[in-house]
Chain A
Amino acid sequence: MARIELKNIRHSYPASKGEAQVWALEEVNQVWEDGGAYALLGPSGCGKTTLLNIISGLLTPTEGSVLFDEKDMTQVATIDRHIAQVFQFPVVYDTMTVYQNLAFPLRNRGMKDSDIEPRVKEIAEMLDLTESLNNRAAGLTADGKQKISLGRGLVRPDVNVIMFDEPLTVIDPHLKWQLRSKLKQLHQQVGTTMIYVTHDQTEALTFAETVVVMYEGRVVQVGTPVELFEEPKHTFVGHFIGSPGMNLLPCENVDRMAHCLGNALGIAEKKETHSEQFQVGVRPEFVYFDKVGIPVNLNKVDDLGRYKVAEVETDGHILKMIVDEGQDIPVENPRICFDLDHTRLYRDGWMVETEEVTP
């Protein structure tokens, strides 16, 4: 058990000849508190797996340091970091039985057989593997194998953190939610820090207490699922989380008032920077039809059952808005308004603090 801190981590893979050096990770500072359930969320290629491998010691970062409880572990070998990792594709030792698989990490650490047995049985019980303990691991289904890889981590009493690298990729959809809730349950039972890497927002938001969103080699926001939804710190977070994602429109600053397509919005940035160009971001949930506001053309309406998604257009910009079931959608001269409590301003992609102002 340890608090894990990443300090000024940067990493680049060796560039092939004639190519410029590319940073897979540009400056990451992140603390993983002991016992937390974290999700590392981001699109493919944003550096999630690299970050994970740096924590586990499979990679040494080009710059920066990894601290476990304030102790510098940057140069320490994987085996001495006491971490466990579950990979995208299930890794089991084919020729061994399930029991031998689970006992393998303990045997390698020189534990006595008499100590191994109760431990393995306990973990097998937790993972519902007791019945297949004597079967060959190769014969199990993908979710069974994934449970074994997880079990090999859980079985060790000294594990600092268990990391999951998109562990549900090869699992059948109907088993995914089962395994996911199993993971959550295990986290409550065992209390080990867990870091769950995924590009699927549903997985991240259901598993984790804290979600770390990465984009192009940076951590762009750390927060609870609610924070990510209500206050995306970066346009990427707004766009990536939520379905449909956040609407983004160009916006100008005129006399300390944000104007979107010529309409005063009623908000301004708190600390005046005299910037002129902004983006205004508002989630589809917080756009509504009104008698006043920005005139739009209605493009189409998708009925998704519990709500409808309306697509409207103004001045060549497209917005999506969620309309609750039973609410009317005006056909003649529709106008839209934003919920000011949930309207954010972004400069160069990053959120700026705003306050309400009366025109």
Chain B
Amino acid sequence: MNKISNQRAWWLVVPVVVLVAFNALIPLMTVVNYSVQETFGNNLFFWHGVGWFEQVLTSERFHASLLRQLAFTGMILIIEVPLGIAVALCMPRKGPWVSVCLVLMALPLLIPWNVVGAMWNIFALPDIGLLGRMINGLGIDYNFTQQPVAAWSTTVLMDVWHWTSLVVLLTYAGLCSIPDAYYQAARIDGASSWSVFRYIQLPKLKRVLTIAILLRFMDSFMIYTEPFVLTGGGPGNTTTFLSIDLVKIALGQFDLGPAAAMSLIYFLMVLLVCWVFYTAMMRNEEQ
């Protein structure tokens, strides 16, 4: 049989190339373009080299918001992952309550980000909000619009409320996939419930927990809408996380060059963390 040899099959790849070009490459290249140029208006651009990158990397403002970002992400991970596991362990495995629990757990995930921000803003207002009134009623001076600590705790609490469910649902799915034989063997071996958790459930949950941590890391590292609606980055700059800061620089001050350089650095950081997680996960699979 004669083999037909030509390159026409490449045409089949064109739709993907076009799609990727328009949704990733072209926008990204615009940003790259801005990040190495300086402008004084009138659409006149001058070559600026890596100057903006140097400026961003050495700026105290960037360091501060990066630190705030890391602190926030670390805090919500420390709270949401153990809390999510604990809630998932308490959920029933059988019976009519399963669907009730699952729906209740899924509800916060269905609410749009800006609505969550608005809800918590009103909920926590010290003069009219239920939460704010209650805390003040307990004799604690609480005003998240003025006190940094209050602003931080409200933001963290809001994120925990919104996203712990994700960890719960993933963990619950992982727990349900552990065969009964493991629990039976543990009973026969006389294992305590702590041992069951430590030696059966936790090792079997490793994969879903890695995914849960990765997802929560990514989402919280790029969080924007909720703190923007809740605190607007304040009081002062105390809750100005990376993305809020970026928007301030890009759209508030219209500093296109530094904003573009910052976007790229931000993007590379997220990419790096994803890569680390991915490699770690793949290495586990191989074992």
Contacts and interface: CB of A to CB of B under 8 A. Distances in A.
Interface stretch (B6-14, B66-74, B178-186): B178-186
Interface in B16-52: none
A56 B181 CA distance: 13
Nearest to B192: A108
A32 interface: no
Contact of B188 (A83, A93, A94): A83
A108 B191 contact: yes
Contacts of B200: 93
Contact of A94 (B184, B192, B203): B203
A152 interface: yes
B185 A96 contact: no
A94 B204 CA distance: 8
A104 interface: yes
Interface stretch (A84-92, A123-131, A189-197): A84-92
A108 B189 contact: yes
A40 B181 CA distance: 19
Contacts of B190: 79, 105, 108-109
Contact of A87 (B184, B189, B191, B287): B184
A78 interface: yes
Contacts of A85: 184-185, 188
A53 to B, nearest CB: 8
B187 A104 contact: no
Nearest to A152: B189
Nearest to B199: A93
Interface in A94-152: 94-96, 104-105, 108-109, 138-139, 149, 152
Interface string A181-209: 00000000000000000000000000000
A141 B195 CA distance: 24
A58 interface: yes
A80 B113 CA distance: 53
Contacts of B184: 53, 56, 58, 85, 87
| Interface core residue of B199, B204, B287 (most chain A CB under 10 Å) | B199
Contacts of B185: 85, 87, 91, 149, 152
A56 B200 CA distance: 20
Interface residues of A, number: 25
Interface string B168-208: 00000000000101101101111110010001100110000
A132 to B, nearest CB: 16
Contacts of A105: 188-190
Given A79-B187, A87-B184, A95-B199, A139 B287 contact: yes
A105 B195 CA distance: 11
B275 to A, nearest CB: 25
B193 to A, nearest CB: 12
B132 to A, nearest CB: 46
Contact of A88 (B181, B182, B191): B181
Contact of B179 (A89, A149, A152, A153): A89
| Interface core residue of B181, B184, B188, B203 (most chain A CB under 10 Å) | B188
A87 B181 CA distance: 7
Contacts of B204: 94
A107 B255 CA distance: 65
Nearest to A83: B188
Interface string A148-176: 01001100000000000000000000000
Contacts of A58: 184, 187
A50 to B, nearest CB: 13
A4 to B, nearest CB: 15
B149 to A, nearest CB: 39
Nearest to A59: B184
Contacts of B191: 104, 108
11 contacts: A58-B187, A78-B188, A79-B187, A79-B188, A83-B188, A85-B185, A87-B184, A87-B185, A89-B181, A108-B192, A149-B185
Given A56-B188, A87-B181, A91-B181, 15 more contacts: A56-B184, A58-B187, A78-B188, A79-B187, A79-B190, A84-B188, A89-B179, A89-B181, A91-B185, A93-B199, A96-B199, A104-B199, A105-B188, A138-B287, A152-B185
Interface of B: 179, 181-182, 184-185, 187-192, 195, 199-200, 203-204, 287
Lowest 6 CB-CB distances: which A-B pairs, in order?
A108-B190, A87-B181, A105-B189, A91-B185, A93-B199, A79-B190
